[in-house]
């Protein structure tokens, strides 16, 4: 495991769009948040202003942006403007040795899940599953807790997720430890059968998603189950499943029924109700840091994802 250095006010940070193009007005608001509230200096990637269908530029444009930001020694963190579609198209062409040699904060979620999974497994770098600039921080009604999540990049205190932050519920009792891995369910399933297949052995797996009907969630969690991902995990964290409701409730299983049938059967400790993912607030967590899940007191504790200095 390799942790990036923490941020300080006045640091230069990069903003890129490795998936779809961001909406301009919300992005501008989010950039002001980085500059005025966090005290950072922003460098915009070339692909942020490009459009290629539903992508922020061609694959080569988005790959070049990632490489340039990691290569630039002055850039201390890389924030993804938004998610959408397309990271799975570029991951096999990334220079992971370049990323390994230049560890720095990498932040985003949703479609960025594919990059989190690949980067951590290929380089050992801790990355951050956190609210997007354009699609979260740039909204008119952004939750203060979503903004506060960025503070973990400036400090080396461990992160403690408690019942007070959201009403956590025990699905399967127990205590579990291990590196934290996971993200968007749809993207995790899309890694299966690829060189970047998510590895859950001995790890705390978290999942979240948006706008998927229960029958689609059923298909995906069943595939993870058949791939032995729940059995191999030490524990499971169920994040937010926003708008994952059936169009015809009278002909559908509920989301809870689907998740419980496939996940609880593994017999691993499970907590649900986390504001992780497409939710408001959206709480950021470091991917790859060591975590502890405890259903007895409904807590989830994670080591800091950044280092204060020196090598780890």
- Average pLDDT over every residue of 88-115: 98
Active site (catalytic) residues: 110, 208, 278
Identify whether residues 45 and 113 lie together within a single domain: yes
In a domain, 151, yes or no: no
* pLDDT score, position 164: 80
Identify whether residues 168 and 292 lie together within a single domain: yes
Identify whether residues 135 and 179 lie together within a single domain: no
Per-residue pLDDT at 229 exceeds 80: yes
d(CA 207, CA 185): 5
* pLDDT score, position 162: 87
d(CA 182, CA 68): 26
The pLDDT > 70 percentage for the chain reads 99
Identify whether residues 247 and 293 lie together within a single domain: yes
CATH number at residue 60: 3.40.50.10740
In three-state form (DSSP H/G/I as H, E/B as E, the rest C), the secondary structure along 29-85 is HHHHHHHHHCCCEEEECHHHHCCECCECCCHHHHHHHHHHHHHCCCEEEEEECCCCC
In a domain, 56, yes or no: yes
Per-residue pLDDT at 5 exceeds 90: yes
d(CA 312, CA 308): 10
Going through the chain in order, the beta strands assigned E by DSSP cover: 12-16, 41-44, 75-80, 105-108, 127-129, 159-161, 169-172, 175-184, 204-210, 235-242, 270-272, 285-287, 290-294, 299-302
> Which pTM does this prediction carry?
0.96
* pLDDT score, position 69: 98
- Average pLDDT over every residue of 31-58: 97
pLDDT interval class at 268 (50, 70, 90): very high
* pLDDT score, position 19: 98
Per-residue pLDDT at 288 exceeds 50: yes
* pLDDT score, position 312: 44
Q: For residue 197, give Cα distances in angstroms to 4, 100, 113, 153, 167.
A: 23, 19, 12, 27, 31
pLDDT tens-digit map of 129-180: 999 999 999 999 999 999 999 999 999 999 999 878 788 999 999 999 999 9
Per-residue pLDDT at 205 exceeds 60: yes
From 153, 137, 135, select the one nearest 145 (Cα to Cα).
Answer: 137
The pLDDT > 90 percentage for the chain reads 95
Per-residue pLDDT at 258 exceeds 80: yes
- Average pLDDT over every residue of 10-18: 98
Name residues whose C-beta falls within 8 Å of residue 173's C-beta, 6 or more positions apart in sequence.
Answer: 269, 295, 296
* pLDDT score, position 311: 42
Per-residue pLDDT at 68 exceeds 50: yes
In a domain, 111, yes or no: yes
Per-residue pLDDT at 98 exceeds 90: yes
Give me the chain's average pLDDT, please: 96
State the total domains in the chain. 2
In a domain, 147, yes or no: no
In a domain, 311, yes or no: no
* Residue 81 domain boundaries: 12-142
């Amino acid at each position: 495991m390799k942790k990036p250095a923490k941020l300080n006010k006045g640091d230069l940070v990069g903003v890129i769009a490795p998936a779809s193009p961001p909406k301009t007005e919300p992005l501008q608001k989010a950039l002001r948040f980085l500059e005025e509230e966090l005290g950072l200096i922003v460098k915009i990637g070339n692909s942020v202003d490009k459009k290629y269908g539903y992508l922020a530029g061609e694959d080569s444009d988005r790959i070049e942006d990632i490489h340039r930001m990691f290569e630039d020694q002055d850039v201390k963190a890389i924030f993804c403007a938004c998610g959408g579609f397309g990271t799975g198209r570029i991951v096999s062409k990334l220079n992971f040795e370049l990323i390994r040699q230049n560890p720095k904060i990498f932040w985003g979620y949703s479609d960025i899940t594919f990059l989190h999974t690949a980067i951590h497994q290929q380089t050992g770098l801790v990355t951050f599953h956190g609210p997007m600039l354009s699609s979260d921080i740039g909204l008119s009604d952004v939750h203060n807790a979503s903004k506060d999540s960025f503070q973990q990049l400036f400090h080396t205190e461990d992160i403690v997720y408690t019942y007070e932050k959201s009403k956590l519920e025990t699905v399967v009792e127990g205590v579990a430890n291990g590196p934290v891995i996971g993200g968007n369910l749809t993207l995790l399933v899309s890694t299966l059968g690829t060189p970047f297949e998510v590895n859950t052995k001995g790890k705390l797996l978290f999942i979240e998603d948006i706008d998927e009907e229960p029958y689609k969630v059923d298909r995906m969690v069943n595939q993870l189950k058949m791939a032995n991902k729940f059995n191999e995990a030490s524990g499971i964290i169920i994040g937010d499943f926003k708008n994952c409701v059936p169009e015809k409730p009278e002909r559908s299983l509920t989301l809870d029924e689907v998740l419980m049938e496939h996940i609880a059967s593994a017999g691993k400790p499970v907590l649900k109700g986390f504001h992780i993912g497409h939710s408001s607030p959206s709480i950021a967590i470091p991917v790859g840091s060591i975590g502890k899940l405890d259903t007895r007191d409904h807590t989830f504790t994670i080591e800091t994802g950044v280092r204060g200095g020196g090598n780890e």
